[in-house]
Amino acid sequence: MPPRVLVGMSGGVDSAVAAYLLKQQGYEVVGATMRLWVDGDDLDVGGCCSLSAVEDARSVAHKLGIPHYVLNYKDIFRRQVVDYFIEEYRQGRTPNPCIACNSRVRFTSFLEQAKSLGCQFIATGHYAQIARGDEHGDGSVGPLRLRRAVDKHKDQSYMLFRLTEEQMRHTLFPLGHLEKSKVREIAAAIGLLVAYKPDSQEVCFIPDDDYKRFLNAEGIVARPGLIIDEVGRMLGTHQGIHGYTIGQRKGLGLTSIDPLYVLRIDPANNLIVVGPHAALWQREVLITDLHFLLYPPPSQLLTAKVRSAGDGSFCFVNFSGIDCAIVTFQDPVRAPTPGQSLVLYDGDLVVGGGTIADVSGIDRHFAGRIHRSDALA
């Protein structure tokens, strides 16, 4: 019997072509769409989580001649992703909901369900590769490793860095060796209606991209506080720390000769710290909540990405505790943000990473020098 694979079909072109390619390779393909979030009955609400996305996925499955199921993951998605997202903003951090979804839902619960359905593998339309065997080419079997996609502009290895070797053993990424243009070409050639469907850019549960509106609707109370500079001088007020992120310039409501940027968010004192653009650049970052399959030596030159876009920056990593490490960059990087992920690479191979917890270069003792007004204290 051919191996059976459960393909996560989002209603977009990538997962559609992934299913098609696997069927062409001889797998027994089953399609499944995860209902993660529904906000009302509008067909266009929720991007990849919308009712229209389900219909697109079902249409593709029918075209390919494969069964299609809709799986209700709304409760676990709420607990593992949405609640995490809200709490991170409440604590003054900027979360990575897509990384949380991958590590807590797609490659855990979805994989478990696939096994219960008799599937040996799951597959998605992510742009990434799994390196199998020895990287030096001698044919020996080594640990599985996550690798960047061939299409560097679409590479999603950053979002997948928390995959375990066991999860990778049961995962297929059919698009990892393809350019996005080729994927659309394949979809058009076989007559898929989603061939030129635009990619979803927003967080699926915030389709209008208005984070502040969503967080307010979810019960985060906008607590006014002070906006200060690096030495503790009061410059203005804010209406809740959840409306700000590191590197932000617009929407501060401040008048200044030189542009000011958010440098730090202090939830304990309800403060927003601002300063010049030069102060955003940092040479050292502390990461926690580590995930490494192999631990590199401190002398190994690596590349680190502090956000999904870009090629990354050269660095060294030094493990300074049970679950923390200090990443030192050869050249300073702009606006590493607490709550975001830092992912380390050795060439195209993912080494590991963690969550940015702190950055250097900001005076930690400014809070005691602030003169608060009675109204904002």
- 167 vs 102: CA distance, rounded Å: 11
pLDDT band at 85 (very low <50, low <70, confident <90, very high): very high
Determine which of 17-26, 42-51, 56-65, 202-211 has the lowest per-residue pLDDT on average. 42-51
Q: Is 228 found in the same domain as 349?
A: yes
DSSP helix/strand/coil, 240: coil
Q: Which has the higher per-residue pLDDT, 119 or 207?
A: 119
Report whether 35 contacts 193 (CB < 8 A): no
What's the confidence (pLDDT) of residue 265? 95
Report whether 353 contacts 308 (CB < 8 A): no
pLDDT for residue 39 is more than 90: no
- 9 vs 111: CA distance, rounded Å: 14
Q: Is 27 found in the same domain as 157?
A: yes
> Is 209 a member of any domain?
no
> Structure pTM?
0.90
Q: Which has the higher per-residue pLDDT, 367 or 37?
A: 37
What is the average per-residue pLDDT within 349-359?
A: 92
> Is 205 a member of any domain?
no
Share of the chain above pLDDT 70, in %: 89
CATH value at residue 185 = 3.40.50.620
What's the confidence (pLDDT) of residue 365? 36
Q: Is 138 found in the same domain as 26?
A: yes
Domain boundary among 147, 172, 189: 189
> Is 336 a member of any domain?
yes
Q: Which phi and psi angles does 64 have, rounded to 5°? A: -85, -10
Residue 172 C-beta-side C-alpha neighbours within 13 Å:
24
pLDDT for residue 368 is more than 70: no
What's the confidence (pLDDT) of residue 373? 37
- 312 vs 302: CA distance, rounded Å: 9
Question: Domain range spanning residue 248?
Answer: 222-377
Domain tally, the chain: 2
Q: Is 155 found in the same domain as 62?
A: yes
pLDDT band at 181 (very low <50, low <70, confident <90, very high): very high
- The two tokens of residue 363 are 């005076």
Q: Is 157 found in the same domain as 8?
A: yes
What is the average per-residue pLDDT within 2-24?
A: 97
> Is 202 a member of any domain?
no
Helix axes 180-189, 13-24, angle to 10 degrees: 70
Q: Is 227 found in the same domain as 183?
A: no
pLDDT tens digits for 314-340? 999 999 877 899 999 999 999 999 999
- 342 vs 7: CA distance, rounded Å: 28
pLDDT for residue 288 is more than 70: yes
pLDDT for residue 123 is more than 90: yes
Q: Is 235 found in the same domain as 141?
A: no
- 107 vs 266: CA distance, rounded Å: 34
Length of the chain: 377
- 210 vs 213: CA distance, rounded Å: 5
Q: Is 242 found in the same domain as 178?
A: no
Q: Is 178 found in the same domain as 252?
A: no
What is the average per-residue pLDDT within 150-169?
A: 96
pLDDT for residue 31 is more than 80: yes
> Is 203 a member of any domain?
no
pLDDT band at 67 (very low <50, low <70, confident <90, very high): very high
What's the confidence (pLDDT) of residue 361? 43
Q: Is 280 found in the same domain as 152?
A: no
CATH value at residue 297 = 2.40.30.10
Identity of the residue numbered 103: S
Q: Is 182 found in the same domain as 81?
A: yes
Q: Is 241 found in the same domain as 171?
A: no
pLDDT tens digits for 128-145? 999 975 554 555 556 899
What is the average per-residue pLDDT within 366-370?
A: 40
> DSSP assignment, residue 133?
S
pLDDT band at 370 (very low <50, low <70, confident <90, very high): very low
Share of the chain above pLDDT 90, in %: 78
What's the confidence (pLDDT) of residue 208? 85
Report whether 16 contacts 187 (CB < 8 A): yes
Give the residue numbers annotated as catalytic, written as ranges: 101, 204
pLDDT for residue 211 is more than 80: yes
> Is 352 a member of any domain?
yes
Domain boundary among 167, 189, 211: 189
pLDDT band at 48 (very low <50, low <70, confident <90, very high): low
> Is 20 a member of any domain?
yes
The mean pLDDT value of the chain amounts to 89
pLDDT tens digits for 233-278? 999 999 999 999 999 999 999 988 999 999 999 999 999 999 999 9
Of 335, 192, 182, 217, whose CA–CA distance to 265 is shortest? 335
What is the average per-residue pLDDT within 80-105?
A: 95
pLDDT for residue 40 is more than 70: no
pLDDT for residue 215 is more than 60: yes
What's the confidence (pLDDT) of residue 44? 52
> Is 200 a member of any domain?
no
Determine which of 31-45, 173-187, 279-293 has the lowest per-residue pLDDT on average. 31-45
Q: Cα dihedral angle (336, 210, 51, 54), rounded to 10 degrees?
A: -10
What's the confidence (pLDDT) of residue 47? 55
